[in-house]
Chains A and B, each alone.
Chain A
Amino acid sequence: MTRAETGASLLSIRHLRKEYRPGQPVLKDVSLDFPSVGVTAIIGPSGTGKSTLIRCVNRLVTPTSGEILFEGQDMAKLSGSTLRLMRRRIGMVFQEYNLVDRLSVIENVLCGRLGYVAPWRAFMRRFPPEDIARAFDLIDAVGLSEEFATRRADALSGGQRQRVGIARAIMQQPALVLADEPTSSLDPKTSVEIMELLAEISTSRGVPIIVNIHNVELAKRFATRIIGMTGGAVVYDGPPGGLETAHLHQIYGGEDFL
């Protein structure tokens, strides 16, 4: 039984196709369903469309054809302010953290509220008190102490920056979090800590996370579901335990990497 038949999916991707250059699809007819719980890891070699896939979900990339049904709306067809309002419901964590370097940590976290607060409030740095209280709580929750709040983002280490990136995504109170290679710029130990944090937040806050990752071990350790992609198509979709060596051969090609 596929997840679509359970009827409980938060996000349904239907026949998604993306061509950056006509006739050269990066994604070929991808259909996937995501329930509103759990960590899903998308694994696969570089250039296989993992990043394009999750960027289509919040429309940082516009798909060529197909549907992306999220909370009753087809994200693929939205534009303008409707798209902007839907984007608030989806948090995103980036490989290069994408913090605003010259702003303080707490202001970066508060940037997660920019879709909600009135522009003059953000302009005057008069965020609502409840947002500020939540920002402090989140800075604690991602493992940074209060003293970090007023520090400039560019004064932080990679792992600390990624924690701020996660806090910013959660600050949106999202229904879904997308993480695009969140550990690829980090050392192995920090990578594990960040994946632990993402898994813990997914459970404790009840928010599903879709994470692109090329480290198979990390994916198997922290994900509840693994999607293997190669050449723009899904070739494995199931629990981590079901991922066999044969699957990895198919996903990555050859066996030299094992």
Chain B
Amino acid sequence: MSVPRVWQRFTLAERIARAILYVCVVIAVVWSIRTIEVIPEFLYDAPEQTADLFSRMWPFDWAFYPKAIHAALIETFHIATLGTLIAIVLALPLSFLAARNFVSNPLLNFVAQFIFVASRSVNSLIWALLFVAIFGPGALSGVLSIAFRSIGFVGKLFGEALEEAQVGPIEALTAAGAPRSMLLVKGYWPQVEPAFWSIALLRWDINIRESAVLGLVGAGGIGVALDAAMNNLYWDQVGLILAVIFAVVIVTEIVTSSIRSRIL
């Protein structure tokens, strides 16, 4: 009888490497816990504090909604929508430059991609801090920070959608003698249109959420009201604002996902 042949998923070296990795993970976790210096009294106290916080929030100060929240909420919507629109207008031409199948100049591709990375590597709140410093507090700073953060997102994803467009139809239109502008309008655009709407809606959805917190650094919207209520310790107002933000996020989520499922 022959020796039964064995099969092992990993080689010996791979198994040793994996064992070392496990040990490293455990060390990292222990080290992190020691570094963050948890204060035991505060940790044990947490459930009680949470319950206390909620009891201060409820009942909500409903009268506060028409007084201050409603206008701030509408402003938040405007910041998110206007910021998304500006981002799309600025990102679209850049994404054509970034798509290597559309523009075959490595320098232009690089410049567009560099702008996207620069835009994406800075959080909206950081952009907002910069713009508040430049333009002062208010909705303008909010709109610009949303727009600048979104350029990279929209541009990168739309540029990738362009690169994934099938070459066959483009080749056919080229063979028919279509000018470059028509390759774009009749060849690329019909192929990437669903991706475009999907990306724009997704970003708008994200921007609604992001613009809700921009007010914490003074860039307008509902975050300003939240910041003020927290500083004044009006927890019944804080609770109401958080509930309103939560409701708005749910509603935009439902709206955008239902539109997306229809266009795809």
Taking beta carbons and an 8 Å cutoff, which residues of A are in contact with B?
Answer: 58, 60, 84-92, 94, 96-103, 107, 111-112, 114-116, 119, 122-123, 165, 168-169, 172
Contacts and interface: CB of A to CB of B under 8 A. Distances in A.
The winner among B171, B186, B187 for most chain A CB atoms within 10 A is B186
Contact of B190 (A94, A98, A102): A102
Contacts of B175: 58, 60, 87, 90-92
13 contacts: A60-B174, A87-B175, A87-B176, A88-B177, A91-B176, A92-B176, A94-B172, A100-B190, A102-B194, A107-B186, A114-B173, A114-B182, A115-B179
B232 interface: no
B261 interface: no
Interface of B: 168-169, 171-179, 181-182, 185-187, 190-191, 193-194
A87 B181 contact: no
A100 B190 CA distance: 7
Contacts of B176: 87-88, 91-92, 111-112, 114-115, 168-169, 172
Contacts, number: 81
Contacts of B174: 60, 87
Contacts of A111: 172-173, 176, 178, 186
A100 B177 contact: no
Contact of A92 (B172, B186, B190, B193): B172
The winner among B174, B176, B178 for most chain A CB atoms within 10 A is B176
Nearest to A107: B186
Given A94-B168, A172-B176, A100 B187 contact: yes
A177 to B, nearest CB: 11
B185 A100 contact: no
Given A114-B182, A123-B185, A87 B177 contact: yes
Contact of A119 (B172, B179, B190, B193): B179
Contact of B177 (A97, A98, A103, A172): A172
Contacts of B186: 100, 103, 107, 111, 114, 122
Contacts of A85: 177
A60 B191 contact: no
Given A100-B173, A100-B190, 6 more contacts: A60-B171, A60-B174, A89-B177, A94-B171, A111-B172, A122-B185
Nearest to B193: A102
A122 to B, nearest CB: 6
A16 B31 CA distance: 70
The winner among A85, A92, A115 for most chain B CB atoms within 10 A is A115
Contacts of B190: 100-103
Given A96-B168, A99-B169, A111-B172, A122 B177 contact: no
A98 B177 CA distance: 15
A169 B172 CA distance: 9
Nearest to A90: B175
| 8 shortest interchain CB distances as A-B pairs | A115-B177, A88-B177, A114-B178, A98-B168, A98-B172, A87-B177, A92-B175, A102-B190
Contacts of A101: 169, 190-191
Nearest to A95: B168
A114 B168 contact: no
A152 B149 CA distance: 37
Contacts of A97: 168
A28 to B, nearest CB: 25
A54 to B, nearest CB: 10
A111 B177 CA distance: 10
Nearest to B167: A98
A251 to B, nearest CB: 27
